[in-house]
């Protein structure tokens, strides 16, 4: 399941994030790529060394992990630190698959889900689509600022060259308590249906049964 969620960051939050990025220091993105991804990676990443960088990292992490649809779709066990990437002057990231395991020590995790949170208005730059290559064909994503795309980390994907302006995104990876994407989708659908039922009828008997089934499926499947 590939999911787009709108308005994860509001205008004020986007303003704060962009102004910290405007004055941030960026380095060559190849420093955080695996050996084969390095061959096709050409972007820049912000060095989060000061208070301003830390503060927007926390702000984005809280906005994402606090978002109810993100929680339902992702069911996070662990998440990497947010990275802020920038693409300009023809920068691109060719086809690759993300590393299956990232981080060290207690922060080490299996990457089940990757996400891209768009930070610049799509009209302000040309190119820069995130393209996923699935069995159903290629899908291209260029979302409004503040929206996030989440996709299974098992997906081959790329970022098209940016030929005008700059494309800045917050990216990261998640280990889910539900490892299998198909099982995550079942839980997402059940949870969505249960919430819609609640909106219509309140805490009905049917709502209670759906809630019970949702909880019990998680007892079968959840890794913690
Ligand atoms: O910038 C993006 O949308 C995704 C970048 C990416 O694929 C990566 O950093 O691994
Ligand atoms: Fe990637």
Cα 123 versus chain centre, distance: 21
d(CA 212, CA 190): 11
Residue nearest to atom 10 of ligand 1 (CA): 98
Contact by Cβ (8 Å): 74, 178: no
Q: Is 197 in the pocket of ligand 1 (CB under 6 A)?
A: no
Average pLDDT for 94-117: 96
Q: Is 116 in the pocket of ligand 1 (CB under 6 A)?
A: yes
Q: For residue 116, what are the β-bridge partners?
A: 149, 171
User: What tens digit of pLDDT does each residue of 46-80 get?
Assistant: 999 999 999 999 999 999 999 999 999 999 999 99
* pLDDT at residue 97, rounded to an integer: 94
Q: Is 85 in the pocket of ligand 1 (CB under 6 A)?
A: yes
Pocket test for ligand 1, best of 118, 171, 173, 174 (most atoms within 8 A of CB): 171
Q: For residue 162, what are the β-bridge partners?
A: 127
Q: For residue 101, what are the β-bridge partners?
A: 110
ipTM of the complex: 0.99
Quick check: 37 pLDDT over 90? Answer: no
Beta-carbon count within 10 A of 4 CB: 15
d(CA 221, CA 158): 31
Q: Is 162 in the pocket of ligand 1 (CB under 6 A)?
A: no
Quick check: 34 pLDDT over 90? Answer: no
Per-residue H/E/C for the chain:
CCEEECCCCCHHHHHHHHHHHHCCCEEEHHHHCCCCHHHCEECEEECCCCHHHHHHHHHHHHHHHCCHHHHHHHCEEEECCCEEEEECCCCEEEEECCCCEECCHHHCEECCEEEEEECCCHHHCEECCEEEEECCEEEEECCCCCCEEEEECCCEEEECCEEECCEEEEEEEEEECCCCHHHHHHHHHHHHHHHHHHHHHCCCHHHHHHHHHHHHHHHHHCCC
Looking up tokens 């198909």 gives 182
* Average of per-residue pLDDT values in the chain: 96
- Higher-confidence residue of 183 and 31: namely 183
d(CA 142, CA 167): 10
Average pLDDT for 186-212: 98
Of ligand 1's listed atoms, the one at least distance from the Cα of 87 is 1
Pocket test for ligand 1, best of 4, 142, 159, 166 (most atoms within 8 A of CB): 159
Quick check: 149 pLDDT over 90? Answer: yes
Quick check: 108 pLDDT over 90? Answer: yes
Of ligand 1's listed atoms, the one at least distance from the Cα of 167 is 1
């Amino acid at each position: 399941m590939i999911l787009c969620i709108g308005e994860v960051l509001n205008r004020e939050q986007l303003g704060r994030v962009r102004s910290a990025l405007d004055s941030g220091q960026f380095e060559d993105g190849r420093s955080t790529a695996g050996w084969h991804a390095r061959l096709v990676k050409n972007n820049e990443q912000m060095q989060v060394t000061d208070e301003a960088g830390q503060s927007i990292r926390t702000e984005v992490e809280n906005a994402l992990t606090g978002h109810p649809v993100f929680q339902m779709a992702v069911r996070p066990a662990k998440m990497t630190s947010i990275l802020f990437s920038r693409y300009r002057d023809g920068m691109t990231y060719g086809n690759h698959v993300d590393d299956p395991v990232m981080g060290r020590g207690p922060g080490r995790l299996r990457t089940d889900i990757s996400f891209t949170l768009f930070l610049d208005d799509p009209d302000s730059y040309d190119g820069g689509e995130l393209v996923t290559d699935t069995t159903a064909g290629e899908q291209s994503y260029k979302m409004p600022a503040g929206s996030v795309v989440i996709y299974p980390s098992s997906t081959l994907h790329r970022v098209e060259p940016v030929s005008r302006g700059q494309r800045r995104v917050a990216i990261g990876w998640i280990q889910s308590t539900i490892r299998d994407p198909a099982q995550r989708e079942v839980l997402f659908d059940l949870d969505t249906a249960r919430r819609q039922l609640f909106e219509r009828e309140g805490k009905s008997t049917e709502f209670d049964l759906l809630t019970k089934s949702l909880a019990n499926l998680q007892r079968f499947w959840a890794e913690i």
